[in-house]
Amino acid sequence: MVSSLLLQIAILANMAGGLGDQISVYAQVDQSRHIYAGQRFTYQIVIEGYNQPGQVHLTPLQRFQPIAMGNHDMSQTMVQIINGRTYQQTVVRLVMNYSLVANEPGMITIDPVTVTIEGKVYRTNPVQVNILAPGTTDKLELDVQISEPNCYVGQAILLTFRLYIAPDADIRGLEFNIPALLDQRLVIDDPPEIPSDARQVRIVGNLTAFVRQGRAQYKGKAWNCLEFRKILLSQQAGRLDLGRPSVAASLAVGIEQRRSLFDAFDLFGPRARYEQFVVSADPIVLNVSPLPQSGRPAGFYGLVGRYTITASAKPTEVYVGDPITLTITVAGDPYLAPVRWPELEQIPELVQNFKIPTERASPNIVNGQKVFTQTIRAVSDQVSRIPPIDLVYFDPGSGRYVTAQTEPIPIKVLPTRVLTGKDAGARPEDVGQVSQIEAIRQGLAANYDDLGILHNQAPAGVAAFVSPLPLATWAGPLAILVSSLLIKITFQTRASRQALRRRRQAGGRAIKRLKIAARTRDLDCAADALRDFIADRFGRNPGALTPIDCHQIILAATADQGLADGFQSLMGKLEEARYGIADPTVMSEQWLSGAVDLIRRIDKRSGR
C-alpha cells in the first residue's frame, strides 16, 4: 500500500514537473555504430517541451558541411492506471536532423549551436564524436576534374566526377561526399546534354545527378565506371577552396567466421565480411576573378561565355496590324540556361514601329540553341525593317565585354484596305482594280439572269431521310459530333473548375508554405512558394518564372507598379540569399510579414 502511494506521488510529481518545465534544447549523435572519416553521420537537435522547429544558426556546423534531413515530432502521451485511477502524462519533443561529415579521423568536438524559439535563444551542448580512419584499397579509384580552375564570376564550369570500381569488387553502401556541390557560393545545375543511358540518382542530400555506368580504362587497368557531370557557377570572386571529394563504401574483405554450431546450418552459405573504405580525389580550388567595371555596357545582366545571336521573321510582307512571328536564336556556349529573354521593350525603333505583347512564351532548347519566339505587329505602312537586337556578354577568353547583334530584317508593310459592298459585288472586268480580293472564275457574288441554272430541289419526303442508307449517312456523323461535343464540354468544365480552384486557393497556399519555410530557414521552399503562387494565380508555368516575369504579370493584372516592384524585389532578395549573398532581413519575421501582406494585396487587386 505504501509503495503504491509512493508511486502515485511520483507520477503526480512528474506530471506537475512536466507542466512547469521550461523548453530545453540539447544535441546528440548516435555513436552505436562506427563513424569513419568521409562518411556522413546524423547530428540531432532535440527540443523538449515544444513541437515546432526552431531557427537554428548553423555557423558552428559549417566545417562539417551540414545538410538538413527533416524534422520528426516525437511527442507522445503515456497513460497509466493505478488503483482504478487513470494518470496521463504528455511528453512534447521535436527532433531536428542534420547530416554531417568529418574528413579527418580522431576525436572531434561539435561546438554548441544556438536555436531561437518564439524569440528566446537556446544553446545546445557540445558533442564529442570519435571519427575512425577508414581503410585504403586498390579496388576503388576516384577522379574529379573541373574544366576551368581560373574563371570569372558567373562563368559556367564543368565538373566531371568518375568513380572507378574493380570488376571483382563486392561493394555496397556508396556514400558520396562532394563539398563543392553543397557550397552556397555556387549555383549548381545539370549540363545541357544528358546522355540517353544516364539514370537520375540522388547523390548528396536532395541533390540528384544523371549517372552513367559502363566500362572504362584508367591507369592501364579495366574498371567499372560511374560518371556524372555538373555545372558550377560562382557568384563570388576570390579563391574558393571547395574541399576534397571522396566516396565511402563497404567492401567485402573476407568471410565471417562461425561463432556457434548453428552457423553451420546457414541455408544461405558463408556470409561476406565488409569493412569501410574511403577513396579521395584532389581538392577542388577555383580562382574566381571579378568582372571588370570599366567598359561594362548598359544591357549587361551577368551573361558570361561566348555567344552568337540571330533573328528571322515570317512573313516579311504583311498588312498593317498583321502578326509577324519573330524568332531569336542564341547559340555558341553549350550552357544556355543563364540566357534571358531579349529586352525588346528597350529597343526604341522596335517599340515605336511595332506592337509588342507583354505575354512571352517559354524559350526552347533546340539542337544546342536557345530559341525565343514572339509575335509583333507593325503599326504603320512606313515601317521597312525589324531593327537589330543586341546580346551583351562578357567573353572570358578575351577578358572584355562584347555586344553581339542580329542583322536588321527588311519587311514590306502594305496599308490596310476596308472591304466595301462594291468590292463584294465586283465583276471580272473590275478585278484588276480590287487587288486585295482574290478573283474566282466569275468574280465574287457574280449575277446571273438565265433561269436554266435553277434546278428542282423539292424535298422527297421524310422517307428519304429515314431509309437505311441515308439514315446511316447523316445519323452516324451526327451522333459522333454530339458525343465529342459533350466530352469536350465536360473536360473543359472540369479543367476550368480546377483552374478556378487553384486560382482562389493560391494565396492561402503560398502563405502557409512561406510560414513553414521561414521557420525552417528553407530558401528553396520559399522561392518555390512565390513562383507557384504566381503560376497558380495567373495560370503560368512555374518553372519558367523569373523575378522580371513575375513583375510583368503582376503589373498587367493589377496595374499597380508598387505591387509589381515589391514582389520583384522580394523574389530578387530571396534569389540572392540562395546564391550565398548574405542579407539578414531575408526570412526574418519582418520579411515574412511583408511577403504575406504583398500576396494578400495581389490577390485582392487581381480579382477573383
The CATH number for 80's domain is 2.60.40
Mean pLDDT of 348-368: 89
Asked whether residue 114 falls in the same domain as residue 213, the answer is no
- Confidence label for 544 from pLDDT (cuts 50, 70 and 90): low
Report phi then psi at 544, rounded to 5. Answer: -105, 5
- Confidence label for 7 from pLDDT (cuts 50, 70 and 90): very low
In a domain, 210, yes or no: yes
Asked whether residue 275 falls in the same domain as residue 312, the answer is no
Say if residue 604's pLDDT is above 90. Answer: no
CA 110-112-116 angle, 5° bins: 140
414, 430, 462: which is the final residue of a domain? 414
Mean pLDDT of 166-178: 84
Mean pLDDT of 507-534: 84
Asked whether residue 210 falls in the same domain as residue 69, the answer is no
pLDDT attached to residue 484: 74
pLDDT attached to residue 461: 56
pLDDT attached to residue 8: 47
Instruction: List the single range of 94-108, 119-133, 158-172, 561-575 with lowest mean pLDDT.
Output: 561-575
Asked whether residue 276 falls in the same domain as residue 337, the answer is no
In a domain, 459, yes or no: no
Say if residue 449's pLDDT is above 60. Answer: no
Residue 358 corresponds to which cell in the numbers above?
507583354
Residue 107 corresponds to which cell in the numbers above?
576525436
User: In the chain, pLDDT over 70 holds for what percent of residues?
Assistant: 80
Say if residue 465's pLDDT is above 50. Answer: yes
In a domain, 297, yes or no: no
Asked whether residue 218 falls in the same domain as residue 158, the answer is yes
132, 150, 184: which is the final residue of a domain? 132
Helix, strand, coil proportions of the chain in percent (round to 5)? 30, 35, 35
132, 167, 198: which is the final residue of a domain? 132
- Which sign does the torsion angle of CA 53, 59, 62, 63 carry? negative
Say if residue 571's pLDDT is above 70. Answer: yes
pLDDT attached to residue 463: 58
- Confidence label for 71 from pLDDT (cuts 50, 70 and 90): confident
Asked whether residue 228 falls in the same domain as residue 159, the answer is yes
pLDDT attached to residue 493: 58
Contact 178, 162 (CB under 8 A): no
pLDDT tens, position by position, 18-61: 433 588 999 998 877 788 887 788 899 999 988 888 889 988 98
- Confidence label for 251 from pLDDT (cuts 50, 70 and 90): confident
- Which sign does the torsion angle of CA 541, 542, 545, 550 carry? positive
In a domain, 154, yes or no: yes
> CA–CA separation, 70 vs 43, rounded Å?
11
- Confidence label for 576 from pLDDT (cuts 50, 70 and 90): low
pLDDT attached to residue 460: 55
In a domain, 541, yes or no: yes
Mean pLDDT of 237-261: 77
Of 472 and 277, which is predicted with more confidence?
277
Q: State pTM to two decimals.
A: 0.57
In a domain, 584, yes or no: yes
Asked whether residue 220 falls in the same domain as residue 147, the answer is yes
Of 259 and 238, which is predicted with more confidence?
238
- Confidence label for 468 from pLDDT (cuts 50, 70 and 90): low
In a domain, 445, yes or no: no
Mean pLDDT of 579-583: 52
pLDDT attached to residue 536: 85
Task: Tell me which residue of 564, 559, 511, 558 sits closest to 533, measured CA to CA.
Answer: 511
pLDDT attached to residue 229: 94
- Confidence label for 368 from pLDDT (cuts 50, 70 and 90): confident
pLDDT tens, position by position, 264-307: 545 445 567 788 888 888 889 999 999 998 889 988 988 999 99
pLDDT tens, position by position, 173-191: 788 888 888 888 899 999 9
SS3 142: strand
pLDDT attached to residue 118: 87
pLDDT attached to residue 406: 95
SS3 531: helix
In a domain, 551, yes or no: yes
Asked whether residue 281 falls in the same domain as residue 154, the answer is yes
Mean pLDDT of 439-467: 49
Instruction: List the single range of 123-132, 142-151, 154-163, 475-484 with lowest mean pLDDT.
Output: 475-484
Instruction: List the single range of 32-41, 267-276, 341-350, 473-482 with lowest mean pLDDT.
Output: 267-276
pLDDT attached to residue 163: 93
> CA–CA separation, 25 vs 237, rounded Å?
38
Task: Tell me which residue of 35, 25, 33, 32 sits closest to 95, measured CA to CA.
Answer: 25
Domain range for 378: 308-414
- Confidence label for 447 from pLDDT (cuts 50, 70 and 90): very low
Asked whether residue 270 falls in the same domain as residue 316, the answer is no
Asked whether residue 152 falls in the same domain as residue 213, the answer is yes
Asked whether residue 98 falls in the same domain as residue 182, the answer is no
Residue 91's DSSP bridge partners are 76
Asked whether residue 272 falls in the same domain as residue 370, the answer is no
User: In the chain, pLDDT over 90 holds for what percent of residues?
Assistant: 31
Mean pLDDT of 481-509: 73
